[in-house]
Amino acid sequence: MTQTYDDRLHAWCVDEQTFPTSASAREKLRFCLQYAILAPSTHNTQPWRFVLGDDSDDSVLLCADRSRGLPVSDTYDRELAISCGAALFNLRVALSHFGCAYAIRILPASAEPDVIASVQLLDEGFVDPVIARHFTSILRRVTNRQLFDAAPVPQVVIDQLCKSAEAEGARLTPVVDESDRLRLAELIDRADRAQLGDARFRRELALWVSASRRDDGMASYSSTESHLLDFASPVLASVVRTFDIGGGIAASHRRIVQGSPLLVCLSTPADNPENWIMAGQAMQRVLLTLTDNGLYASFLNQPIEVDALRADVGAGASDHPQLLLRVGYGASQAHTPRRSLASVVS
């Protein structure tokens, strides 16, 4: 039986009224994982899995699923760790919303590098009422790759975004000066040409924009995304795999940068797995804050993914750039599909 697009969006229809108030800690954790899996990830790879304790255990392990990594564009699994960090933040928000006190350990087992974090429910644990306010935005957040309206982002909102990143230990830097915007546009242009000029990168990208994907990847954009993913169809995915189309995509992304009301760079003080997980949590807190304010974002991470260009993104700053986002107002967009909870929880 063919799965419809609406079926694949079922994960976005979580009903908070069905939270199992009187159930075990294990069942409460499982319920909240429905919100964790709604986090964004590079190419919608959803590179996570969760291991619940037995019936007497009140913990869950968040693990990296490296089989869903991107060895060409994300050689060191940096973006994979960021994606897992975003899922962890969603879990924190959901637990706080439902009043489930918790304790978290990041990278708790040095001998098990795939274990990103352990989350345990504890009577003496922590509930964060501040992040709980973002709860309703988890279901509303969507990556918007369309052109944004020209309306500027209010300074009061920019300040909120910076404080959101800072609260997670990261730094969010607005790109205000026009010369800096043009510099970033040039870097994105160069990165697009470098990446799409690499046959290995094109094959990897084509795998995730293939229309054969059902509950992950970016094939769902094929009917709606004419600006940034106009190659996401069975025929055009083959073109991506076979031909160097960097020039055309680079020109499109350059126009997107120049037409975006706000560009922001998220950075961390160090560049290691712990900081990547930090960046993921900061990213998701920023994205939910944007959603709270009726704004959208999408990613322009290409120059951060190209080693030779990454340092230039920070323009000499001591922090390490992890993400580059464009922010603005725009038309509503459809969600991307999600894998079922059963397929990522054991």
Cross-strand bridge partners of residue 324: 265
pLDDT at 315: 59
Mean pLDDT of 119-133: 95
Token digits for 157?
A: 């909102």
**CATH classification of 155-219+231-328 is 3.30.460.80, yes or no?**
no
Predicted confidence (pLDDT) per residue in 49-74, tens digit: 999 988 778 999 999 999 999 999 99
In the chain, alpha helices (H): 5-8, 25-36, 78-97, 129-132, 135-140, 155-167, 178-196, 199-209, 234-242, 246-258, 273-292, 302-305, 307-313, 341-344
Alpha-carbon torsion (286, 328, 320, 177), positive or negative: negative
pLDDT band at 108 (very low <50, low <70, confident <90, very high): very high
Q: Is 214 exposed, middle or buried (0-12, 13-18, 19+ CB in 10 A)?
A: middle
Mean pLDDT of 149-166: 96
Instruction: Render 78-107 in DSSP notation, one character per residue.
Output: HHHHHHHHHHHHHHHHHHHHTT--EEEEES
pTM: 0.90
Domain edges within the chain: 7-141, 155-219+231-328
The alpha carbon torsion through 56, 58, 61, 62 (nearest 10 deg) reads 140
Token digits for 207?
A: 């795998």
Mean pLDDT of 77-97: 98
Q: Are 8 and 337 in contact (CB under 8 A)?
A: yes
In 112-219, alpha helices (H): 129-132, 135-140, 155-167, 178-196, 199-209
State which fold the 7-141 domain adopts.
NADH Oxidase (3.40.109)
Cross-strand bridge partners of residue 345: 50
- In the DSSP assignment, the letter for residue 345 is B
The alpha carbon torsion through 13, 27, 58, 139 (nearest 10 deg) reads 10
Q: Do the first three CATH levels of 7-141 and 155-219+231-328 match, i.e. the same topology?
A: yes
Between the two ends of the chain, the Cα-to-Cα distance in Å is 26
Q: Are 48 and 83 in contact (CB under 8 A)?
A: yes
Predicted confidence (pLDDT) per residue in 206-250, tens digit: 889 877 888 999 865 444 444 444 333 333 443 343 334 455 555
Mean pLDDT of 312-325: 85
pLDDT at 252: 59
